[in-house]
Copies of this chain bind each other. A is one copy, B any other.
Amino acid sequence: MIIFQPYGIKIKSYKKESILEIAGKAGIRINAVCGGRGLCGKCRVIIREGEVNLSKPTEAEKRALSEEDLKCGFRLACQARIEETGTVIVEVPPESQANKQKLLVKGMETHVKPKPAVKKIFVRLEKPSLQDNTADVDRLLEAIRSQTGLKVNVDYEIMKKIPHILRMSNWRVSVVVWKDKEMISIEQDSSPDMYGLAVDMGTTKMAGYIVDLRSGKVVGATSIVNPQIVYGEDVVSRIKFSEEGKLEVLRKCVINGINEMMGRICKDTKIPHERIYDMAVAGNTVMQHIFLGITPKYIAQAPYSAALQSSIDVKAREIGVEINPSAYVHVLPTIAGFVGGDTIADILATKIHEAEDVSMLIDIGTNTEIVLGDKKGLIACSCASGPAFEGSHIKCGMRALAGAIEHVWIEPGTFEVGYETIDDDKPRGLCGSAIVDVVAEMLKAGLIDSSGRFIMENETPRLRRNGEKVEFVIAWRDEASSAHDIVITQNDIREVQLAKAAIYAGTSILMRFLKIQPNDIQRMYLAGAFGNYIDPQNAKIIGMYPDLPLERVRFVGNVAGSGVRAALLSIDAREKAANLARKIEYVELAADPAFQSEFLKATYLPHKELWRFPNVTAMLNRTLR
């Protein structure tokens, strides 16, 4: 048996199971960025009792954990396996807990006039008599037709309820009709309430919203870490896992996650599940494939074709989502293998496809999608920006959990460091927004040069050599709830340079494609589930996006959520989404001959060609003076 602390959860365990697997069974989420392969070192747990019942530390653990750590009982949850029966008490330290994450459910609000796919109709029927004993279903459909002009079919499961409900209601019922063609609910009360569920399925995070389909108002929202995370943090590891015959495991994860979010909101708002008559869902192309149980494997193999591009409506009961079982789930269309329904949702929410002026949209994540254009046309690309902005591949990086440093500033001259943590907890590590800040602040303070190299001439105890490696201390061990100083290393800076270079090169290729100068861009939308924590100025300073006046930059947060809500609320928005999916031109960066050189030049801070960043250059000169 294993007891997990601080949760107090006990669970039976079997020989050869890893602690990570057992935690999964117990519903405890432990960070496992590398998918349990012992590479990322994020799943550190402390064995409080019963270490003798576990396997000996592996080579991976010896690499990831210091001798000190091992002595203190630290192990990697993915490596430590049960060898003997007996109780093991495992403490999951906060930095390894995946569920406390600060999760963004909010994004820019988009005004959408409700025009839902479902309608509720109150129907009065004539009672049957010996003179007219037309069958119940036929009678109901005829009453609907004569009252509304609609000729509808009946969902098979609903049909079974009709005889009983007609009689219980004394032949006065409410029916819900989907797309003017299928009856998906019959109720004996006359409540006009109609709700819908919108879900934004991120690779890392999922957000759920229950929306009043009549008013368009969000009545409840929540978010969780995508439970698939234990099987790998990025889409590539998910694809790999699905190829091992575990597609259904991944699919169930995301369905369970959606049901969990919905259950939570329904409980809070007292909305019965059966009153949720519609659902819209979007994610990247891989997530959408997994959600539908369709193999994503060919997305990752040349010529990178997805299985499905168009939108699709599937019965909730076939998918397993616990809204009204006869309702349909609308999955948004995608643009290409790596530009998914979430990007369509971004566009629906920001309406850049309807704008006179040229707009650019950057949805930052492990994959970053970029869209450029105006109402005359849009182009899109996807760049593998990597997980640095999610706190991964960074020595002291972590996700946006309590205790994560989220903002940092460095005093030029003294090099003293100030920071802010999530929930004002003692600092445990650096999350994505802090990493952007650190690089920008170090650049401004002259601690690193344009190539990203530490300038060792600066005199401060924070800048130091650690063996072969150079690092800068953000928080000292005694101020942190960590056994170590929280530092940024030369490697970390390199990771950020690569990540931001990929994004900038993407923007650059798209601009070149449309023959647009940075100054032509009237509106820049930065999006992402963590997008609004990134300081816009600092992101510009490191050269993540073109050097635009800040007033043109808008931080729209998890705007995909707003877009999915738009699609949920309005069939016109779905029609727009279908048009967008057909019309947006996808630019394959890897196939562009200019990409490599654009990428290399963009690894500089802010850029090798400083003329591209006149405002940033001016500011750096000012602060360094």
Q: Which residues of A contact B (CB under 8 A)?
A: 128-130, 133-139, 141, 156-157, 159-160, 162-164, 167, 292-295, 297-298, 302-310, 312, 314-315, 318, 334, 336-337, 588, 591
Contact = CB atoms under 8 A, between A and B. Distances in A.
A303 B128 contact: yes
A472 B472 CA distance: 114
Nearest to A156: B314
A163 B295 CA distance: 8
Contacts of A156: 292, 312, 314-315, 318
Contacts of A334: 135
Contact of A292 (B133, B159, B298, B337): B159
A306 B136 contact: yes
Nearest to A586: B133
B588 A159 contact: no
Given A159-B294, A292-B159, A295-B163, A307 B135 contact: yes
B138 A310 contact: yes
A162 B308 CA distance: 10
A314 B128 CA distance: 26
B133 A336 contact: yes
B307 A163 contact: yes
A163 B310 CA distance: 15
Contact of A130 (B134, B139, B318, B588): B588
A309 B163 CA distance: 12
A135 B310 CA distance: 9
Contact of A137 (B128, B309, B315, B588): B309
A338 B544 CA distance: 75
Given A138-B309, A164-B295, A310-B138, A304 B133 contact: yes
6 contacts: A133-B305, A135-B334, A136-B298, A162-B294, A163-B298, A163-B307
What 7 pairs between A and B have smallest CB-CB spacing? A135-B309, A135-B306, A133-B305, A128-B305, A163-B307, A137-B308, A138-B309
Given A138-B309, A138-B310, A308-B138, A129 B303 contact: yes
B310 A137 contact: yes
B306 A130 contact: no
Q: Which of A129, A136, A141 has the most chain B CB atoms inside 10 A of its CB?
A: A136
A307 B130 contact: no
Contacts of A164: 295
Nearest to A334: B135
A290 to B, nearest CB: 12
A168 to B, nearest CB: 12
Contact of A293 (B135, B160, B293): B160
A297 B136 CA distance: 12
Nearest to A336: B133
Nearest to A298: B163
B318 A136 contact: no
Contact of A134 (B138, B157, B309): B309
Nearest to A314: B156
A159 B312 CA distance: 11
Nearest to A590: B130
B293 A130 contact: no
Given A128-B305, A133-B305, A159-B307, 6 more contacts: A135-B307, A135-B308, A136-B306, A138-B310, A139-B305, A162-B307
Given A156-B318, A295-B163, A307 B136 contact: yes
